[in-house]
Structure 1
Amino acid sequence: MGSLSSSSWLHPLLFSLPVILRYLAVDAKPVDLTFVANAAQKGAVCLDGSPAAYYFTPGFGSGVNNWVVHMEGGGWCSSVEECQERKKNFRGSSKYSEQISFSGILGSSQQSNPDFYNWNKVKVRYCDGSSFTGDIEAVDTEKQIFYRGARVWSAIIDELLAKGMNKAQNALLSGCSAGGLASILHCDKFHDLLPATAKVKCFSDAGFFIDAKDISGVDRIKAFFEDVMVTHGSARNLPASCTATLPPSLCFFPQYVVQTMRTPLFVLNAAYDAWQIKNILAPSSSDSGGAWRKCKLDIKACSSAQSQVIHGFRTEFLSAVAGLQRKPSSGMFIDSCHAHCQSGWQAVWLDKGSTKIENTPIGEAVGDWFYDRKAVKLVDSCAYPCNPTCHDVEDDS
């Protein structure tokens, strides 16, 4: 399963510095890392035993009692060996974290993020490799690996509640990639911890990983997620509404979890999700001859036969998300782009050149849905590269 390990997630962004700066349009003020108080005593630690941590900026004005809690992405580790490697870098440790700047859904400019700009904003550091689901009491004393993702999540949420989230009027649990999956898996639990009077919803960006076979006909992603759950002891921390009727191995897939979710959910996803094409549809382990190497990095480089397979994957993705489309409280923005994570890029989220469906940019669509201004079920009805507003970005933050 090496092709699906955390290392396969860290794709370099092939842009020049000026282009990156134009895309980000980040807030000028850097945000410091906050470590959870008494994290070690709470068992809220990263893979390497370093304390759980998050970035936080307080709300102001009308947003002082509103919260957006965004969980970082960054893949998973599915074995002791993978987790051992992961703990040596920022994906498995909080020791390597630095100041960051917020952008997109976490941006503080009223013009570029009008619905959420003055909210309390949190970015949760992802350093456990299980989408915040792991919880094993015993520590691998030889390798010193801690599988405590669920405790990390709980400790950070408890600390935010003490900071004032217990008085929240509006709250949005969001995340990108593995964090977007976490926002689905923890959604109802998050809702239950907040005041009954609060408007609470969840938002998943590029976290709708589908249960699909790869190009060789193998259920590789299902086996990989099962390995993740066994390694981290995740099964008991998956949504009980799903595991009550389905095997835990299926309850890591959003298409099965959303069927019984109580909390409104918005899914932002590319139908040609760049990571899923590379790692679910055409992983290197199923492409020993390298025939898919160029195609999965650039759809325009695909052969006619490969294009048919990729368009078939889009059809399979749309079928998987159809259950959510039928829920009145849900929101969707499914574009025909070749991208992965779109809410953290200002130029993609809400800007003159933002990605749009039916002339609606992502940031506007999410705001309309959250505040119930209109029903939002936006899905590109055409195949790649039909949408001229696409930004083929790839990120996992």
Structure 2
Amino acid sequence: MDQVRFDGILSRHPSQNPDFYNWNRVQIRYCDGASFAGNPESEFKNGTELFFRGQLIWEAIMNELLSLGLSEEKQALLSGCSTGGLATFIHCDNFRDHLPQVATVKCVADAGFFLNEPDVLGIRTILAFYHDVVTLQGVAKNLGKNCVGIMEPFKCVFPREIIKNVRTPFFIVNPAYDSWQIQNILVPVASDPQGYWSSCRLSIQKCDSTQIKRLQGFRDSMLEVLSMFQENKEGGMFINSCFAHCLTVMDTWHSPHSPRINNKVSNDLPCTAL
């Protein structure tokens, strides 16, 4: 089995990770397909048995970590990248509730702020995808009750809805030009049958002026949705113009050449400010 690298915010090297290098670090391997939130009433069967039990995996891991000493920690940080970032949104308050009230607990979601945006054909591909995941895996029961009480549960899996009710101090890290979202939400392969976007969706250096304008529109949507979070005094965010996906787990997380906001370092990924 390949060993998992601990880089970026998980690194044990002070030069790369000055804030958390000497913390106890645990990485939960993603395996369930629904950000550790699935737990259906019945199983789907088509000649084989598929068991979607991400919520139970989360609970089992938490119980194990609590028995190993997490229950006595004075400081704890829950973080994740991509679908792990989405899992951080979903489970942040539950993580907080497992720890002593006197503990300082915070959450950091990296590249998990997925947008409910239409693709270049005007089709909400990501919305349909989340609808299928939530239905198949019984995710609704593990989403915020305030949200599922007023709208369809599959819409409540988007971070813009989740973050409205998170009580725990929260920090969002996300590229405004998230490469995964551009390739899978804005321009999924099925939305580009003629291949007009085939080069641009993989590298913004290969986009023409019309495509750049469309990418800027996606960025504007990201910033507009995040604007409501700016009023949250218990939270913060670092949004840059990188064409990238996941920033905190890279080995260049802390670097003299990293993008900075008010002299605060994010990482050293190649960026293009559009």
TM-score where L is the length of structure 2 = 0.94
2:18 pairs with 1:121: no
Task: Quote how far apart the aligned CAs of 1:140 are.
Answer: 4.5
The answer to whether structure 1 residue 179 and structure 2 residue 84 are counterparts is yes
| Structure 2 residue 270 is the aligned partner of structure 1 residue 391 | yes
Cα contact 1:186–1:239 (8 A) shared by 2? no
Q: Where in structure 2 are there 5+ consecutive unaligned residues?
A: none
Which residue in 2 is equivalent to 1:329?
A: 234
Contact 2:107-2:170 within 8 A present in 1 as well: yes
Matches within 5 A, 1:235-246: 235-246=140-151
- Match of 2:147, SS state, is helix
Higher mean C-alpha deviation, range 332-341 or range 255-264: 255-264
Instruction: Give the deviation of 1:243 after TM superposition.
Output: 2.1
Asked whether the 8 Å contact 2:41–2:138 carries over to 1, the reply is no
The answer to whether the aligner puts 1:108 opposite 2:12 as a matched pair is: yes
- 3-state SS of paired residue (2:15): coil
**Aligned match of 1:354:** 258
2:115 corresponding residue in structure 1 = 210
Deviation at 1:219, TM superposition (A): 1.4
1:139: how far off? 4.2
State the distance in 2 between where 1:307 and 1:263 align. 37
Task: Report the equivalent of 2:205.
Answer: 300
Which structure 1 segments of 5+ residues have no match?
1-96, 364-388, 393-397
For 2:222 and 2:142, the matched residues in 1 are separated by 26
The alignment partner of 1:186 has SS state of helix
Q: Deviations 1:73-112 (Å, cap 9, x if unpaired)? A: xxxxxxxxxxxxxxxxxxxxxxxx5322311111112232
| Cα distance in 1 between the residues matched to 2:56 and 2:168 | 22
Residue 156 of structure 1 aligns with an amino acid whose one-letter code is I
SS of residue in 1 equivalent to 2:26: strand
Structure-1 separation of matches of 2:62 and 2:259: 32
Mapped contact 2:86–2:113 kept (Cα < 8 A):
yes
Aligned pairs (5 A) from 1:129-278: 129-136=33-40, 138-140=42-44, 142-278=47-183
Name the amino acid aligned to 1:172: L
Letter in structure 2 aligned against 1:281: L
Matches within 5 A, 1:305-384: 305-347=210-252, 349-362=253-266
Counterparts of 2:247 and 2:239, CA distance in 1? 11
For the residue of structure 2 that corresponds to 1:111, the secondary structure is: coil
Contact 1:356 1:390 in 2 (8 A): no
Distance of 1:261 and 1:310 partners within structure 2: 29
Report the CA distance shift for 1:227/1:140 in structure 2 as closer, same or farther (over 3 A): closer
Q: Is the contact made by 2:144 and 2:165 (CA closer than 8 Å) also made in structure 1? A: no
SS in 1 for 2:132: helix
Letter of the aligned partner of 1:298 in structure 2? Answer: S
Instruction: Work out the number of aligned pairs and report it.
Output: 270
CA distance in 2, matches of 1:391, 1:357: 16
**Alpha carbons 1:180, 1:207 under 8 Å: kept:** yes
Q: Matched residue of 2:195: which SS? A: coil
**TM-aligned CA deviation for residue 137 of structure 1:** 5.2
Q: 2:3 aligns with which of 96, 99, 103?
A: 99
Preserved CA contact (<8 Å) 2:81 2:246: yes
Q: Report % sequence identity.
A: 44
SS at match of 1:129: coil
SS at match of 2:199: helix
**Pairwise mapping of residues 71-90 of structure 1 onto structure 2 (< 5 A)?**
none
What letter is aligned with 1:214? D
SS at match of 2:242: coil
Q: Is the 8 A contact 1:255 1:320 kept in 2?
A: yes
CA distance in 2, matches of 1:194, 1:291: 51
One-letter code aligned to 2:38: G
After TM superposition, the structure 1 = structure 2 runs for residues 59-70 of structure 1, keeping only pairs within 5 Å, are: none
C-alpha distance in structure 1 between counterparts of 2:48 and 2:196, whole Å: 38
**Residue type of the alignment partner of 1:105:** I
Q: Determine the C-alpha separation between the residues in 2 that align with 1:354 and 1:163.
A: 36
Q: Residue type of the partner of 2:208?
A: S
CA distance in 2, matches of 1:346, 1:130: 27
Structure 2: distance between partners of 1:119 and 1:340: 25
Matches of 1:140 and 1:253, distance apart in 2:
24
Which deviations, in whole Å up to 9, do the C-alpha atoms of 1:236-293 show, x marking residues without a partner? 1112233233321111100111111111110100000000011111111111111011
CA separation of 1:192/1:245 partners in 2, compared to 1, >3 Å: closer, same or farther?
Answer: farther
| Matched-pair contact (CA < 8 Å) for 1:241–1:261 | no
CA RMSD, Structure 1 to Structure 2 (Å): 1.5
